[in-house]
Structure 1
Amino acid sequence: MSSSRSRRVEYDRFIPFRSAMDMDYARFALTRPSRPQRDGSRESPSSVAYQKLLDDCILKNRSRILAFKTAPEAPASKLPQFDEPIRPQKKQQRRIPKEPERVLVIRGLLDDNVLNLLDWGSNNVLAIGLEDAVYLWDAANESTKLLQPAEDRGPITCIRWSPDCAVLAVAYGNSDLALIDPATGHVVDGMEDENQAPVLSLAWRSNSILTVGRFDGTVVDYDFRKDDMFICFYNGHRRGVCSLKWSGLSGRYLASGGHDKLVHIWDACMPVSRHRPRQRQWLHRISSHTSIVKAVDWCPTRSNLLASGGGCNDHCVKFWNTINGACLNSIDAGSEVCALLWDKNKSELLTSHGSPNNQLTLWNYPSMTRVAEVSGHSSRVLSLAGSPLGGVVASAAADETVRLGLLQHRYTSDPKIELEKWCQMGYNADTF
């Protein structure tokens, strides 16, 4: 009776698959001498290393001479040359361009270190405040637009984009504050009070709450959604407040620098007095600078790290722990520190300076070694603004130019496309 199971066929020998055999390798394997030396001596280290490299690259660590099935196709690989030493691949060196990608020649840019006349919004539009107008430069399509304010308001003292870029806050020398729709150029909201001191600095806490620093040292929060816009008053400065920055990660802390050489750190969550519910007291008062403090910025990757820079009689960049108010480090930059800007993706800090070199200096944090220095401005560099795309910085100087430069050639996922985009801007100078 036959079984239902299939019978296994047994062969008395294996037949090699000649088409899959490497006859040259087979000849080499059969005729090469064995590894141990015939005289009992040991192979030299160089011979052992050569044999291992030969097995890896040429022989592919094969041990069989006969082949009994078709060999899979292997992708071709580039083999090293044996007459050249094998060296590790060099790391691509970073190169920061010394020349700007574009220079905007601006007529009417005021030479005043307490004013804030440059801001780059999240809509990729660069706003530049002049004596009697605001110029908007769209980095995406290179178009420009002029926002002409009403007459008899005095020179523009400060500009600042809202977080969503729906409005541009513009402060004037006569103490007026206007919120302008950039699409139409119309004023959608604002304040007019001749009894107030002129505005020197602005900082948006949200899309509707704006913090205002004035020439008399007052710092006030306004909510433009309410009829009574006044929210709270920050009591601390005795003279003009020329710098205001909310912490980027949490939006909880406010830093302010002023003419009185002071830096204040305020905690928005700190409880206020029942007797004065609209008045906030400072969390930390920093008095170690010896000159005006306009350069203030929060580290984007460390929520409790603040950097500040002193003016012409100070020359120092200082770093602060905002939890306990301790100074973490102090570096003498060699000249007036007009502005500073943290890199969004790296632990690096960019500072702008005055006489004698009027340069931009890129520092590595926390070592504070100089990564690069970029010169080109003929007067002190008053303001810095970073592109929302990263890697590009605009610097405005008293020489009436705004220079746009790359911090590095490799700063996005596709650096060639990004670099070509900036290089295709055409000629190197435009006059508005």
Structure 2
Amino acid sequence: MDAGSSSSSNLKGQSRYPLLPLRKFDENLDRFIPNRSAMDFDYAHHMLNGGKKKGKEDLNLDSCFGMSSPSREAYRRQLAEIFNMNRGRILAFKNKPPTPFELIPQSHSGSGTHHSKPAKPHRRRIPQKPEKILDAPDLVDDYCVNLLDWGSSNVLAIALRSKVYLWDASVASISGKHKTGVENGPVTSVSWAPDGRHIAIGLNNSQVQLWDSTANRKLRTMRGGHTSGVGSLAWNNNQILTTGGMDGHVVNNDVRIRDHVVETYRGHTQEVCGLKWSPSGQQLASGGNDNLLHIWDNRRSTQWFHRLEEHTSAVRALAWSPFQGNLLATGGGDGDGCIKFWNTHTGACLNSIDTALNSIEDTGSQVCALLWNNNERELLSSHGGFTQNQLTLWKYPSMVKTAELTGHISRVLFMAQSPDGCTVASAAADETLRFWNVFGDPQVAKPAPKAVHEPFAHLYRTSIR
């Protein structure tokens, strides 16, 4: 018998259970794991307290104070009362704990409750085909004119040479034709007043006509503001009409008075291609064929507020943000191809995106027009030059492309947005007018119907003489 067995035999009379043989230490192991099956904690506790069976209080007090005494017995009883009174009240709340915040909505079914899965964000479907295509014969292919506008009364105006056609979107037909007269020269710009009833028409002979679309009659002709064609128009309100001329001048006209010219802004050296008032009506942006962007403030003098020279080509595309009053997006023409964002209070360029695609001369994508989505932080741009003549939807401010709409075969010079903000009309040098449901509400948007081709110039029913 080995030494381990001899020790175990000698201890049998003193222990309640014999100890198991010790595990032989293995030199190949990195640690010793004891065998706990031989441990008897009850017996060990009994022996430590002298073999006398005592209550819980006796064990605790004797271990602390030794033998009992009258004072210790009184203290033991007091302690026992406190212990029994507070038993089960450890960590108990005095008041009912607050209901935890429910991160995921619960749905109740019968007697059971289950957590519904979080709904996935709805992804808006953007139709890749236009809802409608109309012919627009004789649409002038000129980067410095503005021939398309959509009024608040849901009537679209488009100028074709010396005539302006009105397309009523609510009934999808031509409601009237404004005939300006061949002797006055071709139409170079159109713009609806905020009331959706009156429309301004700029002519190549420097005149501006005002029409009442409801009464189908011309109200007045304004002369003297410019010395050459009026290529851009912008209403600040129903009384102030701002005109941009090919002479480089920007003129504020009060349409209510006989001497309509009230202010003239001078700063451009070539044609004024783009003109837009901010939503507040306090700042005016003008872009020119001289590659300049000017910011004018009507609270100051006629001196420009900011003169911005970062674009390297003509600046025609202008769009004020609907969610930030001092944010302006601009686009450059051939050789530039950039969309830039400006803080018009400070004149700082916040960002610049090169829209260049793979092109023959790597001259970039000509930016012809810009429109903001009124419901989402998105920007739509139309292009020409060495591109697919597409409409590109960008997510702002990341400027990640969300969609590209193709179909035009020539540069997309003009874009206009419907009053509800859902539909965009685009007119291109291919003499077609296309309607896209690019900004449609995802909750009410329906699949786009098959595009139909209609002869735009032959749908009118009445004319103004």
Instruction: Settle same-fold status: TM greater than 0.5.
Output: yes
In structure 2, relative to structure 1, the CA distance for the partners of 1:117 and 1:409 (3 Å cut) is: closer
1:211-250 matches, within 5 Å, as 211-248=242-279, 250=280
Partner of 2:342: 320
> What CA distance in whole angstroms lies between the structure 2 residues aligned with 1:228 and 1:406?
43
Partner of 1:292: 314
1:301-316 matches, within 5 Å, as 301-316=323-338
> What CA distance in whole angstroms lies between the structure 2 residues aligned with 1:245 and 1:194?
18
SS in 2 for 1:242: strand
> What CA distance in whole angstroms lies between the structure 1 residues aligned with 2:412 and 2:451?
23
SS in 2 for 1:152: helix
Q: Deviations over 1:25-75 (max 9, x none)?
A: xxxxxxxxxxxxxxxxxxxxxxxxxxxxxxx856437xxxxxxxxxxxxxx
Partner of 1:104: 134
Partner of 1:197: 228
**Higher Cα Rg, which structure:** 2
Q: Deviations over 1:356-393 (max 9, x none)?
A: 21000001111111111110000000011000011110
Partner of 1:42: none
Instruction: Tell me, yes or no, if structure 1 residue 363 matches structure 2 residue 394.
Output: yes
Q: Of 239, 262, 277, which aligns to 2:292?
A: 262
In structure 2, relative to structure 1, the CA distance for the partners of 1:233 and 1:409 (3 Å cut) is: closer
1:100-249 matches, within 5 Å, as 100-144=130-174, 145-193=176-224, 196-248=227-279
TM-score by length of 2: 0.70
In structure 2, relative to structure 1, the CA distance for the partners of 1:410 and 1:208 (3 Å cut) is: closer
Instruction: Tell me, yes or no, if structure 1 residue 343 matches structure 2 residue 367.
Output: no
Deviates more, 1:319-328 or 1:140-149: 140-149
Q: CA deviation at 1:170?
A: 0.6
In structure 2, relative to structure 1, the CA distance for the partners of 1:357 and 1:167 (3 Å cut) is: same
Instruction: Tell me, yes or no, if structure 1 residue 430 matches structure 2 residue 461.
Output: no
Partner of 2:444: 415
Q: Of 94, 101, 112, which aligns to 1:60?
A: 112
Q: Deviations over 1:208-241 (max 9, x none)?
A: 1110110010111111211221111112111111
> What CA distance in whole angstroms lies between the structure 2 residues aligned with 1:356 and 1:406?
22
Deviates more, 1:402-411 or 1:91-100: 402-411
Q: CA deviation at 1:173?
A: 1.2
> Does structure 2 conserve the Cα–Cα contact (< 8 Å) formed by 1:95 and 1:408?
no
Instruction: Structure 1 unaligned segments of length 5 or more: list them.
Output: 1-55, 62-78, 81-85, 273-279
1:83-94 matches, within 5 Å, as 88-94=118-124
> What CA distance in whole angstroms lies between the structure 1 residues aligned with 2:214 and 2:439?
33
Letter in 2 for 1:340: L
In structure 2, relative to structure 1, the CA distance for the partners of 1:57 and 1:360 (3 Å cut) is: same
TM-score by length of 1: 0.75
Q: Deviations over 1:99-123 (max 9, x none)?
A: 0000011111111111100000000
> What CA distance in whole angstroms lies between the structure 1 residues aligned with 2:166 and 2:208?
18
Output the aligned Cα RMSD.
2.0
> What CA distance in whole angstroms lies between the structure 2 residues aligned with 1:99 and 1:117?
23
> Does structure 1 conserve the Cα–Cα contact (< 8 Å) formed by 2:138 and 2:160?
yes
> What CA distance in whole angstroms lies between the structure 1 residues aligned with 2:216 and 2:389?
34
Q: Which runs of 4+ in 1 moved over 6 A?
A: none
Q: Of 355, 363, 378, which aligns to 1:333?
A: 355
> What CA distance in whole angstroms lies between the structure 2 residues aligned with 1:201 and 1:332?
26
Partner of 2:304: 282
> Does structure 1 conserve the Cα–Cα contact (< 8 Å) formed by 2:222 and 2:260?
no
> Does structure 2 conserve the Cα–Cα contact (< 8 Å) formed by 1:94 and 1:408?
no
> What CA distance in whole angstroms lies between the structure 2 residues aligned with 1:308 and 1:408?
20
Q: CA deviation at 1:151?
A: 2.7
Partner of 2:462: none
Q: CA deviation at 1:93?
A: 2.3
Letter in 2 for 1:178: Q
Instruction: Structure 2 unaligned segments of length 5 or more: list them.
Output: 1-107, 357-364, 457-465
SS in 1 for 2:184: coil
> What CA distance in whole angstroms lies between the structure 1 residues aligned with 2:307 and 2:153?
35
Q: CA deviation at 1:251?
A: 0.6
Letter in 2 for 1:97: P
> What CA distance in whole angstroms lies between the structure 2 residues aligned with 1:349 and 1:57?
44
SS in 2 for 1:415: coil
